[in-house]
Structures are given as structure tokens and as C-alpha cells.
Amino acid sequence: MLKRLRADIRTIKEHDPAARSSFEILLLYSGLHAIMWHRPAHWLYKHHCVFLARFISQLARFFTQVEIHPGAKIGVGVMIDHGSGIVIGETAEVGDGCMIYQGVTLGGTGKEKGKRHPTLGKNVMVGSGAKVLGPFKVGDNAKIASGAVVLEEVPEDSTAVGIPARIVRRNGQKVSDELDQVHIPDPVSQELCRMLMKIEHLEKKVAQLESEHGSNVE
């Protein structure tokens, strides 16, 4: 447990420029406190001491404003920044080195049984206010933008944004939308072209009839 605690503190020092010392992080960072409370709660949960595990998790929620169900699996070196309003469900899994910002929900849609919550791979970043809902996986090194609502799997090394979330980058390359909102064809111009082609066809037919009519008169 001490080894995991040192890894968590080291991660915060590496990613938070406001962190000045390990002592300050240990005493003042509510996200770290939430993970520290979660470790014994998860151990109790696995050993079927469910009531005591839930009691500890609710106590941690009261002091840290971070609600982590004791059944959730949290990896090593996870950073919960600011912490306020974070909810992590019972069957959620958070991989090593993940960064989770305030207001994030790793929850379910209410339609599943058993595995109901998402699994985050290693080194996933989830921006503030994002909602990841459902029993799917977010791949290693993926990024979820602030405020995004993710309802389906995110491939590794990808960036997801929007409501509902869509993939905008993959392996560092921009993913083009199926519909280009800027360079779409002008429907008015297309209709005018069709009309001009039809008029041209009719003019040729009229000229042909006139020619045939003239030859018959002669």
C-alpha cells in the first residue's frame, strides 16, 4: 500500500505544477485522500465485508467530495485532480497512470447488469465534466475532452469530444468527418444544373421535330 501511495504522489508531482512537495500533496490533496480511503475499502469489499467497505467509501465521499464505490478497481499512479463531484461506479476499472479531473462520472446507463461501468486503459486522460457511461473500454493513452459524453468504445491513442462523443484524432492524426459541413454541394446549384440539362434535352428534341416536320412539308 505504501508503494502505491508513493507512486500516486509521484504522479501528482509530475503533472501538477502547483504541487511543491510530497508532504503538501499528502496533507492537502483531496483526490489523493479519496484514493487512500479507497484502497482499504476495496480490500474489505473483496473479502465480503461489504457494509464496512461502503461505510468507509461514504465517509471518504463526505470529506473529499469524491465518490468511489469500493468495488471499483483503481490502478497505480492514478491522479484525481481537484476531485469535486467525481463519481466512479462499482464495476468501473481505472488503469495505471490515468488522470481524472473534477466532475467526471464513470457510470452506467441503467440498462446493463453485471459489468455496468467503463474500463479505462493505461494513461487515459478524462477532462473535467466528462461522462463515460456504459460497460465498454477506453483504450490506452486515449483522451476524453471536457464535457464529453462517451457512450461507446474509444480506441487507444484517440481523442473523443462532443455530445455524444466522436473520435476527432487517432494516433496523432486528425479524423475527417463523414459529412463536411463547409464543402458540401449547394442543393440550389445542383437543381439548376438538372433543369438546364433538361431544357437542353427538350430544345434538341424540339429542333429534331421541327426538322422532321419541315422535311415532310417539302
| Cα angle 68-70-76, degrees, rounded to a multiple of 5 | 75
Cell of 21: 512537495
Give the sheet arrangement for strand 173-174, strand by strand: 79-80, 99-100, 125-126, 143-144, 158-161, 166-170, 173-174
pTM: 0.73
3-class DSSP assignment, residue 105: strand
HEC string of 152-177 equals CCECCCEEEECCCCEEEEECCEECCC
Tens digit of pLDDT per residue, the chain (218 long)?
777 888 888 888 888 888 888 888 888 888 899 999 999 999 999 999 999 999 999 999 999 999 999 999 999 989 998 888 999 999 999 999 999 999 999 998 877 788 999 999 999 999 999 999 999 999 999 999 999 999 999 999 999 998 888 888 888 777 755 444 444 455 666 677 778 778 888 888 888 888 877 655 45
